[in-house]
Amino acid sequence: MIRIPLTQSGPADQFAKDVQAHIEALTAHMMGKPGKPAPRATIAVEMVISRQPQEGPVATRGPDKFIAKPYEIYDDKPQTAEAQQALGVLRETING
């Protein structure tokens, strides 16, 4: 199972919609005219999508399928007051 931090994925429901939309875009691209670049998505979205080749003779098999691999979004935000304060100091230091 692929574990994705919440800070990289955003809300789980929106991430699931983004994955489905990208699968649909990849499928449309595969069925479209050649010579166009494939659609791109965030690294987290692309990480959970896999191309599943169809088996059998070329004349009888269907097109390859894009599927979402099992994934889990976990909350990686600091939970304690000390961690929140440390994160605030880190952000201030980075942002100047």
Q: Structural domain boundaries of the chain?
A: 2-95
pLDDT grade for 80, boundaries at 50, 70 and 90: confident
Quick one: CA torsion of 29, 31, 32, 34, rounded to 10 degrees?
90
Q: What is the pTM of this model?
A: 0.75
Q: How confident is the model over 18-66, as pLDDT tens digits?
A: 999 999 999 999 999 999 999 999 999 999 999 999 888 878 888 899 9
Pair of tokens at residue 57: 């003779």
CA dihedral 49, 12, 9, 87 (to 10 degrees): -160
* Gap between the Cα atoms of 18 and 45, Å rounded: 7
